[in-house]
Structure 1
Amino acid sequence: MVRKVGYIRVSSQQQNTVRQKKSLKEQGCTVFYEEKISGATLDRPELQQMLDGLEGGDIVIVHEISRLSRSTKDLLEIIDQIKERGASLKSVSEAWLDTSSDNPMNDFLLTVFAGLVEFERKSIKQRQREGIDIALSQGKYKGRKTKLVEGGEEEVRRNAILEAYKNRTSIADIRKTYKVGTGTIYRLLEREGVNR
């Protein structure tokens, strides 16, 4: 039996979800995941719980795609996760978004979305590279600052990471031990002039 799963989101505690819930009930949803949190992040407990619980044949229904995500990149990632679980996605307000049916227009628009995200990502990288090249030519570029700043516990942590690296501890082990991202470690090594 096909389950219709409703995902409901508003950005703040003051907003209510009545309109969305009514719309999704009219679509036949019997299971609901509801949260009051910004759509600017994928770190949403109800969203993750919904994605983890999806089964083949399920249809996720949202009132409008902005409820699922405000970022095109994140939206495409969510759609991929839904598809990986053998489920599909449908939007009430955007009739073209219905991955439960063989809809050429839906595939076309999702491809355009993906292309725009890739174009934006490459454009940002190009602008960053151009800015870095200008700063390097003027002797002003020192790399992005790390989160490991001088002073207090962060300085102790920073020094411990540098020491661990000098003692040939792997980046993966440093990351796990000190709960720090790979990019932060490499930026720290670069700023300190430590050979990789």
Structure 2
Amino acid sequence: MAFIRAYLRASTKEQDAGRARADLERFVKERGLVVAAWYEENESGATLKRPELERLMRDCHPGDVLLVEQVDRLSRLNEADWEKLRTDLKSKQVRVVALDLPTSWQAVSEGDEFSRRMVDAINGMMLDMLAAIARKDYTDRRRRQSQGIEKAKAEGRMRGRKEDEKRNGKIAVLLRAGLSWSQIVEQEECSRATVAKIAKRLQTT
């Protein structure tokens, strides 16, 4: 029986990476299976540097199944990074099953060697295609966002984030009191760039 590892990903902390968990649980339950391990994170699918994905790959053994809701949850990678991930999956003999790729579902079903090899070949092509589509969607959205920002700036509709005057005033007081930047960053939970900006402002006043 396949050892199923479920991977859940969302792009930002504001999104719920666990939203699809019920769908994955329903999928395996209908087939009399269970998810043996869950990996959930809020990271961009456009990078390979994802802690939970890396942990999943370290945990995998030959014959394991990597279960995802959609292929784009696994990859919005560029061609080189997708090729690396796909090569790693192949070398570990890990099969990818995605709810939006019905041909992959057979990977969690029993079958003879010929059928498994045929399914693997078909799924390899389908995964490549869906991964390419996911990457194109990602780059298209980024381009539209960039164009929207540039248009808003040109029309004078784009304003920077409103300054936190209360916090910045406190940072200025702490700087004058002689606290180190590291102490201020820790106390006010701000970035060093913010402290540097306030310090520079104090030098000119």
What's the TM-score once normalised by structure 1's chain length? Answer: 0.50
**What corresponds to 1:24 in structure 2?**
28
1:83 aligns with 2:82: no
How far apart are 1:122 and its partner, in Å? 1.1
Conservation of the 8 A alpha-carbon contact between 2:25 and 2:35: no
The equivalent of 1:150 in structure 2 is 165
Equivalent residues, number = 157
Indicate the percent of aligned positions where both proteins have the same amino acid: 11
Cα deviation for residue 75 of structure 1 reads 4.7
Q: How does 1:1-196 map to 2 (within 5 A)?
A: 3-6=3-6, 11=19, 17=22, 20-25=24-29, 26=31, 28-29=33-34, 31-33=36-38, 42=42, 52-54=55-57, 55-56=59-60, 57=62, 58-62=64-68, 64-65=69-70, 72=72, 75-76=74-75, 83=85, 86=89, 87-95=94-102, 101-102=120-121, 103-135=124-156, 142-146=159-163, 149-151=164-166, 154-156=167-169, 158-159=171-172, 177=186, 179-180=189-190, 185=194
Structure number, greater radius of gyration = 2
Could you tell me whether the CA contact under 8 Å between 1:24 and 1:61 is conserved in 2? no
How far 1:179 sits from its partner (Å)? 4.2
> Could you tell me how far 1:155 is from its partner in structure 2?
3.0
CA spacing shift, 1:88–1:150, aligned 2, 3 Å: farther
What is the alpha-carbon distance in structure 1 between the residues aligned to residue 52 and residue 134 of structure 2?
26
Cα root mean square deviation, aligned: 5.2
Gap runs ≥5 in structure 1: 36-40
* Structure-2 change in CA distance of 1:29 and 1:83 (3 Å): farther
Task: Give the secondary-structure state (helix, strand or coil) at the position aligned to 1:89.
Answer: strand
Unpaired runs of at least 5, structure 2: 9-16, 44-49, 108-119
Distance (whole Å) between structure 2 residues aligned to residue 175 and residue 53 of structure 1: 37
**Structure with greater helix percent:** 2
